[in-house]
Amino acid sequence: MNDKLINLMADLQEEETMKMVEELIASGTDPVTILDDARRAMEVVGKRFEQCEYFIPDLMMAGEILQGITKMVKPRIKQAQGAGKKGRVLVGTVAGDIHDIGKDIVTFMLDVSGYEVLDIGIDVPVETFVEKTREFKPQVLALSGFLTLAFDSMKKTIEALVAANLRDGLKIMIGGGQMDDEVRKYVRADAYGKDAVAAVNLCREWIGG
Amino acid sequence: MSKTTEELYREREKRVLDAIALTKPDRVPVVALFSFFPAKYSNMTVREVMYDPEKQWKAYWRTLTEFEPDMDQNPFALRFIGPLLDTLDFRQLKWPGHGISDNFTYQFVEDEYMMADEYEAFLFDPTDFMIRKYWPRVFGALGGLGKISPPRHIVTYAMGMPFGFAPYNTPEVAASLDALKAAGEKSMEIAKYAASYTAKAKEAGFPMQYGGFTQAPFDTLGDYFRGTKGLMLDMYRRPKLVIRACEKLLPLMIDMAVGASRASGNPRIFIPIHKGLDGFMSMEQFHTFFWPTLRDLFVALINEGIVPCPLWEGNCTSRLPTIGDIPPGRALYGFEATDIFKAKEILGDKVCIKGNVPLSMMATGTPEDVVAYCKKLIDVVGRDGGYIMDAASSLDNAKTENVRAMIDFTKEYGVY
């Protein structure tokens, strides 16, 4: 564990972080440990976000740094990673709504938190949610929406899952601009999450990890 | 004896002006951002009202005269845009028939319409950058403008003129000029309908809420040029350029508002706030990047006799102590998810407050829920004036009975 690297990245010092990663690679450090440290740094970032020290731009910047490190390090890792994921989460923005910024942050945070995430994009038709739920067999479904028009799309999506006998055992969370607990009741989801860290915490509560 | 429409017009205008001036009107004014609600209310699709001005007129006129808010919003500029969007092959929106189904509202397409390495070009000559780089990206039909020479190069017979016009003789530029002419026709039609709607509403006794639109410099830069993600990352990677771009945009944003207000004869200018919200940046970033040029915008408009009417979207509770730092009684702050009761405590003697019946309640709740919430708003936020009733934001998907409850209850219970 390299505390200096973790701190640089958690403090969002992009240039210094990338320089250090380059040096570590050049000096023969195992690339897997570099990625592990990057993940630890992301945990710090997540905590700071939860404690309102960090905000959305900080998450985005951390995401950029992580992407930069992954790009440098991944080609040097021989065996495929990705084993031992904590659970499956299906994510998408509901029919009629084309907003993706919030959804993308949720996908990213769930991914770095160790979940196997399938993000099926924006303006996702009800039938596609049903089909993907059947195929991917997620433990958690995360429905995103920014506008009030998403209320009914969420409601219809969940009704369709009930009709397809896929609702039992599936936990459903909603989030996005106009969502709140009133909407959660209206669409009959299990929880409303106010941000990406809330989404991660809900997954931890529901499927562990 | 019932009042004449002229008397009603003056009474409604005064009601709102009194609230803005932080004095007590005869009752709490009530307004609404109907957005595409009138389409649904009149059994029309969003697509129909976006493309058919007569249908649009019918739907919005019916809504205005059947709900009778104290002020209206002229629908034409923001709703009758279908034909113009088509003509220009507009890329920043998806709308019914263009990636959105007929009954859903149009939505913005997030992208980087100015690249990270183009700040200097923008700062050097923003208008030239817009015409030759930005317009071809956001208007598919104006791609040819990328070929013209910079307008600043053509000064006189000895400077630029002899060769400067050559690009206009190419098919690409000619096609763009044709598209501009066609867009001119569509714009004229929007302007014609907008002007007659405002005049007709005035005759019927209804003032307009707003006479124009502008935005915070940071929002303009983030929404339309760099994209949300692009600008968020720029705050770390090129902070000085972000500040310089906001400062460059400031006089343009002032000019836009002053021009619109003069043309419409309406002092109220609408300013939606998008990226300065809690969670969207730290307090330090708010003070560094967002607030300085926004405050300058507010103060400049106030000095011109204009009333800045920002709609603080999302939750801005943590910004309340900062944003009260403007001349008192000269602006109107609409709030969406901000703690409006706290806003009253902090801003009560500084700025008139508007809002914020939650959209989730308007769309999924009952009239009883709405009345209970409005009662609390009137009792607490409305105490001693300085308050205007409104929903949190656009009413697109609100239930008819809930809109009616908000407006009727305020008229009845909101009397001072």
Interface touch B280/A56, C-beta < 8 Å: yes
**Residue B150 DSSP code:** P
Which residue is listed with tokens 């659970």? A87
Structure tokens that stand for B136 in this block: 């071809």
Structure tokens that stand for A77 in this block: 């890792």
Interface touch B235/A54, C-beta < 8 Å: no
Q: Among candidates A93, A92, A90, A199, which has minimal Cα distance to A145?
A: A93
3 state DSSP class of B179: helix
Kindly report the nearest CA distance between residue B224 and chain A, in angstroms: 15
Interface touch B228/A149, C-beta < 8 Å: no
CB-CB: which of B282, B358, B396 is closest to A149? B396
Structure tokens that stand for B152 in this block: 């600043």
Q: Is residue B135 part of a domain?
A: no
What is the Cα–Cα distance from B289 to B281, expressed in whole angstroms?
A: 9
Interface touch B110/A60, C-beta < 8 Å: no
What is the Cα–Cα distance from B335 to B326, expressed in whole angstroms?
A: 17
ipTM more than 0.95?
no
Q: Among candidates B364, B303, B370, B292, which has minimal Cα distance to B330?
A: B303
Q: Is residue B392 part of a domain?
A: yes
Q: Is the per-residue pLDDT at A80 higher than 70?
A: no
In a mutational test of the A interface, the residue from B91, B360, B395 whose CB has the highest number of chain A CBs within 10 Å is: B360
Interface touch B107/A12, C-beta < 8 Å: no
Which residue is listed with tokens 């005064």? B14
Looking only at Cα atoms, what is the longest distance across chain A?
58
Q: Is residue B39 part of a domain?
A: yes
pLDDT class for A82, splitting at 50, 70, 90? low
Neighbours of B178 (CB within 10 A): 12
Interface touch A101/B110, C-beta < 8 Å: yes
Which chain A residue has its CA at the smallest distance from B285's CA?
A57
Q: What is the CATH number of the domain that holds B285?
A: 3.20.20.210
A148 CB neighbours in chain B (<8 A) are 359-360, 363, 394, 396-398
In a mutational test of the A interface, the residue from B93, B111, B228, B229 whose CB has the highest number of chain A CBs within 10 Å is: B229
Residue B229 touches partner A, C-beta closer than 8 Å: yes
Which residues 74-133 in chain B show a CB within 8 A of chain A?
A: 94, 99-101, 104-105, 107, 109-110
Q: Is the per-residue pLDDT at A158 higher than 70?
A: yes
In a mutational test of the A interface, the residue from B109, B364, B368 whose CB has the highest number of chain A CBs within 10 Å is: B364
In a mutational test of the A interface, the residue from B33, B100, B107 whose CB has the highest number of chain A CBs within 10 Å is: B107
Q: What is the pLDDT of residue A77?
A: 80
Kindly report the nearest CA distance between residue A96 and chain B, in angstroms: 7
HEC sequence for B310-352: EEECCCCHHHHHHHCCCCCCCCEEEECCCCHHHHHHHHCCCCE
Q: Is residue B166 part of a domain?
A: no
Architecture, CATH, for domain A3-76: Orthogonal Bundle (1.10)
Which residue is listed with tokens 């890329």? B91
Enumerate the domain spans of chain A: 3-76, 88-207
Q: Is residue B350 part of a domain?
A: yes
Helix axes A3-10, A56-73, angle to 10 degrees: 140
Kindly report the nearest CA distance between residue B157 and chain A, in angstroms: 50
- Spatial strand order in the sheet of B99-100: B99-100, B93-96, B107-108
Q: Are A148 and B359 in contact (CB under 8 A)?
A: yes
CB-CB: which of A54, A60, A97 is closest to B229? A60
Q: How many domains does chain B have?
A: 1
What is the Cα–Cα distance from A28 to A15, expressed in whole angstroms?
A: 20
Q: What is the pLDDT of residue B151?
A: 95
- Spatial strand order in the sheet of B268-273: B212-213, B268-273, B307-312, B332-335, B352-357, B387-391
Q: Is residue B41 part of a domain?
A: yes
Q: Among candidates A32, A46, A37, which has minimal Cα distance to A17?
A: A37
Q: Are A187 and A174 in contact (CB under 8 A)?
A: yes
CB-CB: which of B94, B232, B360 is closest to A57? B232
3 state DSSP class of A102: helix
What is the Cα–Cα distance from B317 to B286, expressed in whole angstroms?
A: 13
Q: How far is CA B83 from CA A123, B48, B78, B95, B186, in A?
A: 24, 11, 12, 11, 7
B314 CB neighbours in chain A (<8 A) are 177
The answer to whether the Cα torsion of B110, B113, B116, B120 is positive or negative is negative
Report phi then psi at A22, rounded to 5: -60, -45
Which amino acid is residue B288, in one-letter code? T
Interface touch B279/A195, C-beta < 8 Å: yes
Q: What is the pLDDT of residue A209?
A: 73
Residue B378 makes CB contacts below 8 A (sequence gap 6+) with B28, B387, B389, B410, B413, B414
Domain A88-207 has CATH 1.10.760.10: no
Structure tokens that stand for B109 in this block: 């397409």
CB-CB: which of A57, A98, A101 is closest to B94? A98
Which chain A residue has its CA at the smallest distance from B237's CA?
A14
Structure tokens that stand for B226 in this block: 């760099």
CB-CB: which of B279, B364, B397 is closest to A182? B364
3 state DSSP class of B187: helix
Residue B415 class from Cβ within 10 Å (0-12 exposed, 13-18 middle, 19+ buried)?
Answer: exposed
Q: How far is CA B188 from CA B21, B181, B193, B365, B408, in A?
A: 36, 11, 9, 41, 37
Q: Are B268 and B332 in contact (CB under 8 A)?
A: yes
Q: Is residue B134 part of a domain?
A: no
Interface touch A57/B359, C-beta < 8 Å: no
Which residues in chain B land under pLDDT 70?
1
Q: Is the per-residue pLDDT at A83 higher than 70?
A: no
Q: How far is CA B242 from CA A98, A101, B316, in A?
A: 27, 21, 22
* Cis bond before residue B356 (omega within 30° of 0): yes
pLDDT class for A74, splitting at 50, 70, 90? confident
Interface touch A97/B396, C-beta < 8 Å: no
Q: Is residue B179 part of a domain?
A: no
For chain A, how big is the Rg over CA atoms in Å?
18
Kindly report the nearest CA distance between residue B399 and chain A, in angstroms: 12
What is the Cα–Cα distance from B315 to B339, expressed in whole angstroms?
A: 8
Q: Among candidates A202, A138, A124, A206, which has minimal Cα distance to A166?
A: A138
Kindly report the nearest CA distance between residue B283 and chain A, in angstroms: 10
Which chain B residue has its CA at the smallest distance from A180's CA?
B360
B360 CB neighbours in chain A (<8 A) are 148, 151, 178-180, 182-183, 186
Containing structural domain, residue B298: 5-82+191-413
Neighbours of B43 (CB within 10 A): 8
As beta bridge partners, residue A174 has A143, A192
